[in-house]
Amino acid sequence: MNTRINELVKLTLDGKMYVNTVPTEQEEWDGGKSRVENEVLRLCKYILNQEPVITEYSAFTGRFNFDGSVVGDAFKRGGHKYTQMALDKYYLKPINNLSTMEWQHATADYKRVLEKGVLGIIGDIDASIKEHKDEGERVEFLNGLRTVAITLIEWCEKCAARTLEYAESIRDSEARKRLEKLADALMRVPKNKPSSFYEAVLSIYVCFSADPDSLGTLDRFLSPFYFEDIKKGVITKDEAREYLQELYLMVQASTPITSPHFTRGGESHFCIGGYDERGNDAFNELSALIADSMVELPIYIPQITLRWTKKLSFESFYYMMDLERRDPHKRIAFTNDDKRIKCYTQICGFPYERAVSYTMVGCNEPAFLGAITGSNSKGNALRCIETLFHKKADKIQELNSFEEFYSVFERELYSDLNEIFEYDDMYNLERAKDINYISSLFFNDCIENGKSLTQGGGNVVISSPMLIGIVNLIDSLITVREAVYEKKICSMSELVSALKNNWAGYEDLRLTLIKTVSYFGNDTEIAKSTSQLLYSSLYKAYRGRKNVFGYPLLVGDLLGYNEHHKWFGEKTMATPDARFNGEQLKFGIGQSGGRDKGGLGALLNSVAELDPYAIACGSTVTNISLDEKTVENDQSFYSLCKMLYTYFEKGGVHFQLTYVSRQDLINAKACPKDYKSLRVRVTGFSDYFVKLKESIQDDIIERTVQK
């Protein structure tokens, strides 16, 4: 990290690189113009009234933020009137203890910007206007996009002028020369397609304003510029590092320092590596540089997921694992391309060349380049089993086999899933009342279809309502099968009575079950076959099912920033997995509370073999807590890397690591002032442990530390 970047780091961490909004006085709503015309005029006036942040250390500028007074970007949803109304009604408010609305993430199509420039995108808009010439609403929307695109070009021209004005006040000749270069570049890009690595990164820097969320598949669309410039001697590797690091600093600075999200990475999550359109592994020298240059920075955002493939060398995998263990801010996670691409092509039916463009966004949701996540709503996976034991116990007490029980259970499961899907559609239809312009400009298919991304404009989008408590559900099914029908530890009537009494008077039975049952994560045949049976049911329920916009549905299981596992758990009665009334649910695919007694290998095998159908390649997370000594010792760390590489070969979808002792976590919760620097992985993001909500802290403490 050189002197210039170091100065930008200081400014960023002091909150001084955040682009403050400039209030914009707008004319009265013109009744003679349509809604689209009024909203676009206000948006464009607002953009051109903003002011860029420029310092003597800058090589880039052009970012702007929205203040909610106009229809802004699709991630923060400022000015999206109907989304805000829906959030007021449904956000973080569980309906029937079954479903709640959550946020959406997305990634702009930076590849399109780099290949065509904004002028090329305007050409695509003009072509689409001709295609839809007889469809008034679509043409009106497309004309709005065209106006916004022209405004972005004008904005860059304003930024160029401001940069030149500022350069005249700078005495340092090197800084002045750098600013003059920036001003010159802003007159060319992103108006036109870039001709160098520097201009390519600048184009992304400016367009990030349109969707301040994920950077997508950064290595693959920057690689042509990087390798061409290296070959020609236009840039050095160190200069490329500088440009990447300034881009990351801008991403960090897009969140105000006053926000609790400033130290989290959930808003800006992207991928490197993975299969390209020709089926080759895309991890290369630039991929490594992208990760290495990020880890060198003492910031919290963005975060990266490595897309593992069977063609990725173990040496490259080890390189990324080693970076991960050396990263104090815990910004790297890992996912399995082979499993995901199987899902996106065979289950979702997407063309291979579009399927390989996926990235991870937000807390670990998959999205495709230039696409939004179709849904991130949360559902209570455990309500169906609670219903059977507390409201419909008469239907299960006289059953003679686990097969009979499972048939009754499956009907209840499908009933809840149908209700979850209906609520999910309701949230999406509420959001669809908004029309987005600036983000839709950079989203695939919105131009071709003449529809806003909020209204189903994309063709390659997945919807992944998350099922919280799915491991509780697996363990409940295993308990019924093993304890009631196979080992006959108790009768169904006894189990029903124990749950209705919240285990009071049945304490010995509960302890026996905890000691005896082959819970998920122990790689036993009964646990494996039962968990696969559940995922077979989920496969039947999800495959071929589409949401209101026609997006395929996939299974998800993660949490995010909010305490859905607590809220659902508080209103969920005792369940067969030895839960008490009101006890919080588990999230993600893993195990906790010391129930995974077989060690790390057994846990990884259990997760890898859980879903042979690949239906669970939605928003999923597997948290692994490790003993620090395992990671610090090179020999044991090498063995760990081999084990995790094999885990992906067997079908595991995801993993992320935390290396903190359980006692340190307990101490940190009790005395937070003594553990302010302790960082952990939560779902798809990391944060300081002491800043997390108590229920999330408790979940992390309960994770089994593997040695």
Per-residue pLDDT at 376 exceeds 80 = yes
Give yes or no for a contact between 332 and 305, defined as CB atoms under 8 angstroms apart: yes
Distance CA 604, CA 596 (A): 10
Per-residue pLDDT at 266 exceeds 70 = no
Average confidence score pLDDT of the chain: 95
Q: What is the pLDDT of residues 462-488, one digit of tens each?
A: 999 999 999 999 999 999 999 999 999
Per-residue pLDDT at 404 exceeds 80 = yes
pLDDT for res 230: 98
Residue found by looking up tokens 């994560």 in the block: 521
pLDDT for res 496: 98
Residue by residue, what is the 3-state secondary structure of 512-562? HHHHHCCCCCCCCHHHHHHHHHHHHHHHHHHCCCECCCCCEECCECCCCCC
CA dihedral 66, 83, 565, 521 (to 10 degrees): -80
pLDDT for res 219: 97
Q: Which two tokens stand for residue 676?
A: 């302010």
User: What average pLDDT does the segment 105-111 reach?
Assistant: 95
Confidence of residue 620 (pLDDT cuts 50, 70, 90): very high
Buried b (16+ CB within 10 A) or exposed e, 122-140: bebbeebbeebeeeeebbb
Q: What is the pLDDT of residues 165-176, one digit of tens each?
A: 999 999 999 999
Tell me the torsion sign for CA atoms 292, 296, 297, 301. Answer: positive
Give yes or no for a contact between 618 and 653, defined as CB atoms under 8 angstroms apart: no
User: What amino acid occupies position 102?
Assistant: E
For residue 99, what is the enclosing H or E element?
strand 99-100
Q: What is the pLDDT of residues 566-597, one digit of tens each?
A: 999 999 999 999 999 999 999 999 998 889 98
Distance CA 253, CA 262 (A): 8
Partners of 161 in the β-ladder: none
pLDDT for res 267: 73
Preceding amide of 190 cis, omega within 30: yes
Please give the share of the chain, as a percent, with pLDDT higher than 70: 100
Confidence of residue 1 (pLDDT cuts 50, 70, 90): confident
Domain boundaries, the chain: 1-64+109-209
pLDDT for res 313: 97
Interior angle at CA 360, CA 437 and CA 704, nearest 5: 140
Give yes or no for a contact between 309 and 340, defined as CB atoms under 8 angstroms apart: no
Q: What is the pLDDT of residues 500-527, one digit of tens each?
A: 999 999 999 999 999 999 999 999 999 9
Per-residue pLDDT at 706 exceeds 80 = no
For residue 358, what is the enclosing H or E element?
strand 358-361
Per-residue pLDDT at 100 exceeds 70 = yes
Distance CA 685, CA 270 (A): 12
Give yes or no for a contact between 362 and 562, defined as CB atoms under 8 angstroms apart: no
Indicate the pairing of strand 303-308 with strand 332-336.
parallel
pLDDT for res 216: 95
pLDDT for res 290: 98
Per-residue pLDDT at 203 exceeds 80 = yes
Distance CA 515, CA 503 (A): 16
Partners of 281 in the β-ladder: 275
Coil, strand, or helix at residue 454?
A: helix
Distance CA 664, CA 258 (A): 28
CA 363 to chain centre: 4
User: What amino acid occupies position 486?
Assistant: E
pLDDT for res 478: 98
Interior angle at CA 537, CA 534 and CA 543, nearest 5: 135
Per-residue pLDDT at 707 exceeds 80 = no
Per-residue pLDDT at 379 exceeds 70 = yes
Per-residue pLDDT at 264 exceeds 90 = no
pLDDT for res 79: 95
Distance CA 151, CA 49 (A): 11
Nearest CA to 440 out of 178, 100, 141, 134 is that of 141
User: What amino acid occupies position 525?
Assistant: E
Please give the share of the chain, as a percent, with pLDDT higher than 90: 90
Per-residue pLDDT at 446 exceeds 70 = yes
Q: What is the DSSP letter of 28?
A: P
